[in-house]
Structure 1
Amino acid sequence: MDASAESEGVDARRNALSADAEGSTRAEDGGGETETTVVSARDALANAIRDATLIARGGGAATNDANGDANDEMEDANEGREVYQGRLVSALVAAEHGAPTAALFVIVFVYLHCAALAFVAWLTYASRRMNAVTQACVSARDERKLSEVVTYASLVIGHVVVIWWLTPSGRRARQFFRTGAESPSFITSLLDVFVLDSSARFVFILSKLVVVALPLSTLQKLLRARGRASGATSPKVSTVKMPPARLYRRRASLLSMIEYASLMVRSLVPVSVWLAYFQRELPKVLASIITGLYLLTKSRGLVRSGSDFVKAVSAWLSLGSRSSANGEMATREDLMEAGDVCAICQEKCVDAIKLRCSHIFCDDCIGEWFDRQPSRGASGLSKTCPTCRAVVQSGVQRSYGNGASSLLPILF
């Protein structure tokens, strides 16, 4: 804006000088009109200088206004930054002053509950260790050693026995947390919930180890009995020997169903503990209100876990039927059009499944692909085609077919 104002002023001065020069020339040539022409030239020059000055002043004022607005914004930003830094410094100073006192209370809490905290730490380690062992045994398939499975199962049984018969939490659980039995505090009730939740997890880990320890022949007999009972397979088809890959796929579905049963049961474990605590520690009217609100909020999680378990059971029962959870059963025309070679195993399709994107795979191959997909970075719980990466199913239920257990404790 300054440059344009200056250029306009220069043009005005130049025009004025040109007019002055013309006036002087005419004065020399014109004789009697000299004085009048000189006066006109001087007036034009004065007007041009005045206009140029006004234009320059206006441009400078606009520039000053713009610079002033920018400076105000910078000052506001600096003030906001200084206020934030001041609050942060105050919070850090307060934390520094309060840290020693908080550390003292933490030391006192650890001293008073050192045995309980040590037991919690051990149960956490044991749960993680048994979960890793179970997954290793499942992934080993026919290479797993039966002696190792039996050893770990014995350790799990030992933990359950210790919890139920040698701990105060187990003793209170055997008494069904009756009001007149004991009066544990909130921290003690929280410990009871954690211990009983770990105990329930160990019981279902033991169930998974039993399934893993079954030989293939026994597992196939179990699957045949399930197929005949559910009507998924005919008696003639149920006598056909399954290939090992299909048996392991059926076992993965069974392990997933066991884990969803575990989540449903573990969701029920805290209810009795907290209901007894409310009835024991609160007045009758307030206890009734809190109990109703607790059951109302808890029922949502119970319904969700129960629904997940029903879906897992349905998936287990639907295995081997003509309706697969992985997609539509491919027809002979589909196989003739797309080819009967599975893109995963590079062999002839067995129980060919047609996805939404029209690609065809073996039912066992695509099922194993879907089970491993979350660990491969699939977004959420969506199923994608291994060939074109198109989303063929979304919002599907998570699979625990690898033998994994949920290690997050359910405390409320």
Structure 2
Amino acid sequence: METVGVGADTANSDTVSSTSNSFPIVRFLQAPVTTLFEYSGVLRPRSSNDIRESESLISHSRSHSSSDSGSSRGSSDGGNNEGEVSIRIIGDGEPEEEDGGDGGDTGVVGGDSVGGGGGEREVGDSSDVDGRSGAEGSNNTSSDSSNQQRYDLQQVSRWIEQILPFSLLLIIVFIRQHLQGFFVTIYVTAFMYKSNDILRKQTALKGERKLSVLVGYSIIFMLHVVGVYWWYQNDDLSYPLLMVPPKTIPPFWHAVFIIIVNDTMVRQAAMAFKLVLLMYYRNGRGHNFRRQGQMLTLVEYGLLLYRAFLPAPVWYRFFLNKEYGGLFSSFITGLYLTFKLTSLVEKVRSFYAALKALSRKEMHYGSYATLEQVSEAGDMCAICQEKMQAPILLCCNHIFCEDCVSEWFERERTCPLCRALVRPADIRSFGDGSTSLFFRLF
């Protein structure tokens, strides 16, 4: 008979579930990574049974060794008594054993009753024992694999916890050594993100833009660019703008700082130029707004092409360092220039496609509708819900205002009503005034 401890397990599970709901602050301060793994469910939270596991293993091994020695002594004594039969009743979890002595017989009884007679014995069914042993073997294998994974995760988390404090110290020292460059990079990046948001809002206003607001924003953008270059006029910051390498070989982090600042300031100046375009197309409708979107797209692809060239002078000076040897520095510089030229092919193709779209006079997604076509379709635009202005007939026979459909095709390539494919996906449009926010470091 076996006794199952239900009450103790229930109490332990309730304790674990109650403690897992609250975040362990003290344990997080001692082992942050392991605590986060356990709290997120990647690792099983450790309970009091896991903590006493090592102690129970020691006592368990001692009890097994004493029982094995006792059984060996009993078997040796039984072997000396000839003619005696040793009967052992096995439980559900014990394996079946058959030992034969020198002069005695050993039988296994599979039930509660023993058959009569001196030599008669009832042997339990071996198929049940084999089934139970196979199930126990598979369970042991799965538990061993889960324990191994838990052990590996614990080792990784402990390794991270060991290097984490030292890494934080290195980051603090690095920020302190480059404190000015660190905060300047954050400032110019935040200013550029805000400027991009302002430009997109002014582009969306279309005919409701105010000229004074556009002029004010463009002046602020240009003053910001001039102020940054005036502040760093002695740091070789303006030479790469003219595709001229710096005079001296810059350290690695200084080279990264030069590239980031130049890349951000060039985009800032392009935003000021886009505001000038918005001033020019402020009072236009229909055709002018379509040309405005094409011009903004052309400016953006020209900016992307120029920004692809911008890091080349800095890295050219950085790699061409004779201190590493003339042959090695020349080889590395040649590889970098080769990679750079191969990456410029896509930028040149995109700029050429934008220039080709601007030079195309006719619309490539429809034609102007006649009065009969407008009267048949109704004199109401489905986009703006007003009377049509310069109606455009699409290839799917739906008619919209030129102003409305031009704005629609800056974001979509399908008809607003039937979702039929109308505009070919040649290049991405930047007609909403947006600017690419990713840095070009290499």
2:352 is aligned with 1:310: yes
Partner AA of 1:401 in structure 2: G
1: CA distance, partners of 2:415 / 2:181: 49
2: CA distance, partners of 1:307 / 1:340: 42
Q: Secondary structure at the match of 1:170?
A: coil
2:431 is aligned with 1:389: no
Q: Any residues of structure 2 matched to 1:41-52 within 5 Å, and which?
A: none
5+ residue gaps, structure 1, are 1-55, 221-243, 374-382
Partner AA of 2:146 in structure 1: R
Q: Secondary structure at the match of 1:384?
A: coil
Partner AA of 1:170 in structure 2: L
State the 1:389 CA deviation: 3.1
**Matched residue, 1:288:** 330
2: CA distance, partners of 1:177 / 1:102: 37
State the 1:300 CA deviation: 3.0
**Matched residue, 2:268:** 202
Q: Cα distance 1:359–1:150, how it changes in 2: closer, same or farther (>3 A)?
A: closer
5+ residue gaps, structure 2, are 1-123
Q: Cα distance 1:139–1:344, how it changes in 2: closer, same or farther (>3 A)?
A: closer
Q: Cα distance 1:64–1:386, how it changes in 2: closer, same or farther (>3 A)?
A: farther
Paired residues of 2:199 and 2:433 also in contact (CA < 8 A):
yes
Deviation larger for 70-79 or 188-197? 70-79
2: CA distance, partners of 1:369 / 1:134: 18
Percentage of matched positions with identical amino acids: 27
**Matched residue, 1:214:** 280
**Matched residue, 1:151:** 216
The runs of at least 4 aligned residues of structure 1 exceeding 6 Å deviation read 63-67
TM score, norm. by length of structure 2: 0.63
Paired residues of 1:165 and 1:171 also in contact (CA < 8 A):
no
Q: Secondary structure at the match of 2:383?
A: coil
Partner AA of 1:197 in structure 2: D
Query: If each structure's helix is expressed as a fraction of its own residues, which one has the higher value?
Result: 1
Paired residues of 1:156 and 1:203 also in contact (CA < 8 A):
yes
**Matched residue, 2:286:** 245
Deviation larger for 66-75 or 363-372? 66-75
Q: Secondary structure at the match of 1:388?
A: coil
1: CA distance, partners of 2:296 / 2:281: 15
2: CA distance, partners of 1:157 / 1:336: 47
2: CA distance, partners of 1:106 / 1:352: 60
TM score, norm. by length of structure 1: 0.67
2:431 is aligned with 1:404: no
**Matched residue, 1:270:** 311
Q: Cα distance 1:214–1:337, how it changes in 2: closer, same or farther (>3 A)?
A: closer
Which of 382, 405, 412 matches 1:366?
A: 405
1: CA distance, partners of 2:248 / 2:437: 29
Q: Secondary structure at the match of 1:89?
A: helix
Partner AA of 1:255 in structure 2: L
Paired residues of 1:135 and 1:404 also in contact (CA < 8 A):
yes
**Matched residue, 2:12:** none
**Number of residues paired by the alignment?**
314
Which of 150, 172, 180 matches 1:107?
A: 172
State the 1:295 CA deviation: 2.2
Which of 299, 302, 307 matches 1:258?
A: 299
Q: Secondary structure at the match of 1:385?
A: coil
Q: Any residues of structure 2 matched to 1:68-87 within 5 Å, and which?
A: 71-87=136-152
Q: Any residues of structure 2 matched to 1:123-162 within 5 Å, and which?
A: 123-162=188-227
State the 1:69 CA deviation: 5.5
State the 1:172 CA deviation: 4.8
CA offsets, 1:350-393, max 9 Å, x none? 231214xx6555554333223234xxxxxxxxx33322334556
Q: Cα distance 1:169–1:121, how it changes in 2: closer, same or farther (>3 A)?
A: farther
Q: Secondary structure at the match of 1:352?
A: strand
1: CA distance, partners of 2:129 / 2:346: 66
1: CA distance, partners of 2:129 / 2:433: 73
2: CA distance, partners of 1:335 / 1:65: 86
**Matched residue, 1:94:** 159
Supply the RMSD in Å over aligned alpha carbons. Answer: 3.3
Paired residues of 1:169 and 1:195 also in contact (CA < 8 A):
no
**Matched residue, 1:193:** 259
Q: Any residues of structure 2 matched to 1:218-233 within 5 Å, and which?
A: none
1: CA distance, partners of 2:219 / 2:306: 22
2: CA distance, partners of 1:171 / 1:77: 64
